[in-house]
Structure 1
Amino acid sequence: MNVRRTRQPVLPLGSLPRVDLLPPSEMRRRDMLARARAWMVVGIAAVAVSALLVGGAAAYHVASSVRLGLEQARTQQILTGIAELSEVSDALATRGDLQALRADAMAGDLEWTPAVALIASHLPVGVTITGFSLDAGAAPVAGSDPTSATGMSGTVTVQTPAAIDLVAATRDLREAPAVIAADLESLTAADGVFTYTLRIALDQSVYTGAFTAEE
């Protein structure tokens, strides 16, 4: 015969019994309130994070707008400066074109008085220049020798009370500086006055070069 001893729960001395008297509905209500509070906290945190993100984005947008405005102002300033420089550049280009045109048009500018005086100084004694018709030649070529091309040519009229040695006179003229050619074109005599028309050509050293284009 087996005898089984059953252990009875022993209530500790000095303690009160704990009894959960909350009904299930109250427990469910409290659980729902706890969950609601948790979700509320999550919602508030999400709203706060969203507000921070939106605020940061707004601040970045404002900073970007300010920076863009500054860059646009700087760009406009640069464009204005370029426009002003463009006007100056156009003016300089126009000036250069005008100088080039003047240089081309006045390349054959002549020193008439020295040229005529040069011819007169190599005529025989007693011969006087009474007129001349001289024209400028081609424009000088940059870098070329001015004594190798014709710069002035035409006729010179001289008079003398006595006949002159034409061979010696024209030889003396040809040996003068800047003179390329000197030949008799015509001779007339009337009332004791001899009139000679000489065909003369001088080189380009008689050009003044005053309107040469600056390099």
Structure 2
Amino acid sequence: MTEIIDATATAAGETPRRGQRGQGGRRGSGRPPTSERGTTRGLAIGGPPRVDLLPGEVHSNRQQRRVVRRLWVGVVVVALGVAILAGWATMVRMSAEQELLSAQGETSALAQQQGQFRDVRIAESQTALLEAAQRVGGSTELDWSATLESVRSKLPQGVQITGVTIDSASATSEYAQSDDPLQGRRVATLTFDAKSAVLPSIPDWLTAVSGVTGYVDANANSVARSDDGSGYTVNMTIHLDERAFDGKYAAEGTKG
């Protein structure tokens, strides 16, 4: 005898009903029961479990462990980065220290070599000081011999210079200037006495001496006949400016 078990009743925990044979010798209608929505519901046997019976604390613990592992991975990565940067900085510092030690060694060696020429350096320094003193002290020097020769060559033929008075500026004081606004600025004064056999032409003499180096102006102080009647004596003054300096001790770059 064949029995049909009601799967819906079995799944719901009810006692299964046995079907009864109907007309034609069959028990029941032979149609499976339907759900309220009219769809056939079958019993799934041997399928994968779909119910998670683990408590929520277990899942929370697992989630926290994953977060902690990620945090530790981040910490390890940061630590490695810091270690790499620290190592690189240490290498750079060691390289800089090595270069500094090398430079200090070279400096020390150069200092020792310079010490061997200490006397030479002192002599060079003293020489430079003396040259500077010469340039300052000799900056106002004039070559009076050449100046007098130039004046004599400008005077008429047969004129003789019998007396000379010179005055010039010094390296420590400025030369005194004339109160006459018509006279130019001067750094030296040359006053001389000249003897001429004939009556001199003063304008011609003044024009002639204007070719002397450093000439500023000139004037005839006096013209007198000699006591013995042998000729005439002329007293003349010539003013000179900076062009008359000989520049003997001037620096090479400043010589004109």
Partner SS, residue 107 of structure 1: helix
Alignment of 1:1-215 (within 5 A): 78-137=110-169, 150-189=186-225, 190-192=227-229, 193-214=231-252
1 or 2 for the larger relative contact order (CA 8 Å, sep ≥6)? 1
> Partners in 1 of 2:122 and 2:185 — Cα distance?
37
Amino acid at match of 1:200: I
Q: CA deviation at 1:138?
A: 5.7
Of residues 75-84 and 88-97 in structure 1, the stretch that sits farther from structure 2 once superposed is 75-84
Q: CA deviation at 1:177?
A: 4.9
Q: CA deviation at 1:101?
A: 0.2
> Partners in 1 of 2:208 and 2:108 — Cα distance?
73
Amino acid at match of 2:208: D
Q: CA deviation at 1:176?
A: 4.8
Provide closer, same or farther for how the CA distance between residues 80 and 154 of structure 1 changes in structure 2, counting only shifts above 3 A: same
Q: Is the 8 A contact 1:138 1:150 kept in 2?
A: no
Q: CA deviation at 1:157?
A: 1.1
> Partners in 2 of 1:90 and 1:126 — Cα distance?
57
Provide closer, same or farther for how the CA distance between residues 214 and 85 of structure 1 changes in structure 2, counting only shifts above 3 A: farther
Q: CA deviation at 1:132?
A: 1.3
- The structure with the larger Rg is 2
Partner SS, residue 168 of structure 1: helix
Structure 2, unaligned stretches of length 5 or more?
A: 1-104, 172-183
| Pairwise CA RMSD | 3.2
Structure 1, unaligned stretches of length 5 or more?
A: 1-72, 140-147
Partner SS, residue 151 of structure 2: helix
Partner SS, residue 233 of structure 2: strand
Q: CA deviation at 1:199?
A: 0.7
> Partners in 1 of 2:203 and 2:137 — Cα distance?
38
> Partners in 2 of 1:75 and 1:121 — Cα distance?
64
Q: CA deviation at 1:149?
A: 6.5
Identity %: 21
Number of residues paired by the alignment?
136
> Partners in 2 of 1:113 and 1:75 — Cα distance?
55
Q: Is the 8 A contact 1:153 1:201 kept in 2?
A: yes
| Larger proportion of strand | 1
Provide closer, same or farther for how the CA distance between residues 197 and 160 of structure 1 changes in structure 2, counting only shifts above 3 A: same
